[in-house]
Structure 1
């Protein structure tokens, strides 16, 4: 029991970094569900009222879900539209960070909002 507690304490140490593994998009979840139910891209496209090319673009992350399309998928597949849109949003944010579109430098940005002590309300 003491060994388990010691291992847990080491794992919970503040200096340990939380590893981020894979950021999933709605495409990953859709692929898994399609594989589970043996649904083709053409079949899914017909059920949600879009072209097979549109489904292919979504599954290959060339295009992301719209709110309307997420609602259609929810109706057909039973996957929460909110979950689908959240997955895509988180995926796009992670990709933007990876591509360096946001600066991760430690010094404050010159455009960051500052409070000036000479301003009174």
Structure 2
């Protein structure tokens, strides 16, 4: 039964970088070759694979054309990964805020 107090266990969080990297390794694709095919720099590909940068919609469409990986899947993976990072960051203590209302729920919020 679904209940908001029951937590859904998250077994694995991955980003588009994981899927791209795995595909590159399987097909022995170099960063330089992929960059040339996508029309971006090798540094851009390196940053994506190291999760220093995330793909945008245009690059997702290019990857779909070149590698056959769904652009929707790539964007969803990155969105979920970024949300996971934000949740982890939100669990850490927050510095002092000017307002005592910071992150205080409205009475009508139940979720």
TM (norm. structure 2) is 0.77
Give the superposition deviation at 1:20.
1.4
The one of the two structures with greater contact order (alpha-carbon pairs below 8 A, sep at least 6) is: 2
Q: What root-mean-square deviation, in Å, do the aligned CA atoms of Structure 1 and Structure 2 show?
A: 2.7
Selected match of 2:82 from 66, 71, 92? 92
Selected match of 1:30 from 20, 24, 39? 20
Selected match of 1:62 from 33, 42, 52? 52
Deviation beyond 2 Å, 4+ runs, structure 1: 14-19, 109-115
TM (norm. structure 1) is 0.71
What are structure 1's unaligned runs of at least 5 residues?
1-11, 104-108, 116-121
8 Å Cα contact 1:26-1:85 kept in structure 2: yes
Question: 1:28-77: CA deviations, max 9, x gaps?
Answer: 00000000100000010000000000000000000000100000000000
Q: Counterparts of 1:101 and 1:67 in 2: how far apart (Å)? A: 29
Selected match of 2:10 from 3, 8, 20? 20
Give the superposition deviation at 1:114.
3.4
Whose radius of gyration is greater, 1 or 2? 1
The residue number in structure 1 matching 2:97 is none
8 Å Cα contact 1:96-1:102 kept in structure 2: no
Q: How many residues matched?
A: 98
8 Å Cα contact 1:41-1:56 kept in structure 2: yes
